Amino acid sequence: MTALTATKTDVLDALRQIIDPDLGRDIVSLGFITKSAVCDGLVDVVINLTTPACPVKDKMKAEAERLLRALPGVTSVKVEMTAEVKGGSRPARQLAPGVRHIIAVSSGKGGVGKSTVTVNLAVALAQTGARVGVMDSDVYGPDIPMMMGLVGQPETTAERQLIPKVRHGVSTMSIGYLLPEDKPVVWRGPMVHKLIEQFLGDVAWGELDYLLVDMPPGTGDAQLSLAQIVPLTGAVLVTTPQAVSTFDVGKAIGMFQQVQVPILGIVENMAGYAIEGRVEGAPSRAMTLRTGLGEIQTTTDAEGRFHAIVDVFGRGGAESLAKRHGFPVLGRVPLNPAVRLGGDAGDPVTLAEPDSAEARAFAEIAGRLAQRVAIREHASLPILE
């Protein structure tokens, strides 16, 4: 390094100090630096990550700026963060070839909020700049149209492909768009298989980073058909804390393992109900809240405000499953009527109340999901020395 001005080599050497926390290598050897220009004290760098939903993106940018400003002769630094979702570690697909990753969102039983998790994760991923779609394969109870606030028949292309209906930045397709609202679907397994095949092959999905597939409850025809029709990146399992839910999810885990679909992680929904309040004249003191589930100990802050969590459905179910089977808990979403209201109105809580604990939880889960996908793609990344 000269005493007066930095070179391109100096820039790359400085950036080698930044280690991707998930992939465990520096961002230069991972091939993330797609531009590194130095001219008259000006440094212009582009860092291309494996997903726009990277949770440490801002931290990585700040660290790069700090390291580059410390180089001799540098007067100005520009660091641009871009992202390109990879999808090269699985065989090429004839169906939905423009989709990088197809991810099943499943559960062992109904009533755990699987569709709610699907739409909120999709919206959270889309908010980061990712190209996202949702395919509703729950033919017997298609909830995606209501939860996304969409109605009506989809249009078709000149090639007679269905055009996904789009809202909140997410492309969607559901049998709910194709049938009258009050008409039940009474189908046998082969018809479910054919519909899933058509939704993958006869829908103009275009280029997507992530296609989340909302599965019906259980371990039946839809799950097996999806795993047979296309190579899946993996599955996300949704549970609630109580034992009956985690017991049924255990069956879903076994099913996905049987068809060789990796489990990307588990989401624990309805994980505790938050109680908040304020006690006048009671700053910084311990107090006991009496609920139908017993007593809860909490403490007020300097202004007398308190916050406590009531574990309505118990606690620890997801952690127990994850520890037993060796995959991570992607996150826990608190129980809140706002989540239900957002789903009923077609405006997921991630958008309707972005500052809520539930929206923050979904954003964090989306980031961890994107991390897990990126880690699985690590084997296909070029390692530069």
Helix (H, G, I), strand (E, B) or coil at 67: helix
Asked whether residue 201 is assigned to any structural domain, the reply reads: yes
Question: Which residues are CB-contacts of 359 (< 8 A; sequence separation ≥ 6)?
Answer: 120, 124, 349, 350, 351, 353
| The last residue of a domain, from among 22, 54, 83 | 83
Q: What is the pLDDT of residues 204-221, one digit of tens each?
A: 999 999 999 998 876 666
Asked whether residue 31 is assigned to any structural domain, the reply reads: yes
Task: Let me know whether 182 and 36 are in one domain.
Answer: no
Sign of CA dihedral 275, 280, 285, 289: negative
Question: Which residues are CB-contacts of 196 (< 8 A; sequence separation ≥ 6)?
Answer: 137, 222, 225, 226, 229
Task: Let me know whether 227 and 193 are in one domain.
Answer: yes
CATH number of domain containing 19:
3.30.300.130
Task: Let me know whether 327 and 247 are in one domain.
Answer: yes
- Residue 153 domain boundaries: 99-271+315-378
Band (pLDDT 50/70/90 cuts) for residue 379 is low
Helix H or strand E encompassing 257: helix 243-258
Q: What is the pLDDT of residues 9-29, one digit of tens each?
A: 999 999 999 999 888 899 999
- How many domains does the chain divide into? 3
Task: Let me know whether 156 and 113 are in one domain.
Answer: yes
Helix (H, G, I), strand (E, B) or coil at 339: helix
Band (pLDDT 50/70/90 cuts) for residue 343 is confident
Asked whether residue 92 is assigned to any structural domain, the reply reads: no
Task: Let me know whether 39 and 173 are in one domain.
Answer: no
Helix (H, G, I), strand (E, B) or coil at 33: strand
Asked whether residue 90 is assigned to any structural domain, the reply reads: no
Burial 52-75 (b: 16+ CB within 10 A, else e): bbbbebeebbebbeebbeebebbe
Task: Let me know whether 225 and 168 are in one domain.
Answer: yes
Task: Let me know whether 153 and 206 are in one domain.
Answer: yes
Q: Are 325 and 263 in contact (CB under 8 A)?
A: yes
Task: Let me know whether 198 and 114 are in one domain.
Answer: yes
Band (pLDDT 50/70/90 cuts) for residue 382 is very low
Residue 162 forms beta bridges with which residues?
A: 156, 203
Asked whether residue 164 is assigned to any structural domain, the reply reads: yes
Task: Let me know whether 195 and 330 are in one domain.
Answer: yes
pLDDT at 385 over 50: no
Measured CA to CA in angstroms, residue 371 lies from 68, 264, 330 at distances of 26, 10, 10
Q: Are 323 and 266 in contact (CB under 8 A)?
A: no
CATH number of domain containing 144:
3.40.50.300
Asked whether residue 89 is assigned to any structural domain, the reply reads: no
Task: Let me know whether 73 and 32 are in one domain.
Answer: yes
Task: Let me know whether 253 and 297 are in one domain.
Answer: no
Task: Let me know whether 288 and 320 are in one domain.
Answer: no
Question: For residue 220, what pLDDT is reported?
Answer: 67
| The last residue of a domain, from among 40, 55, 83 | 83
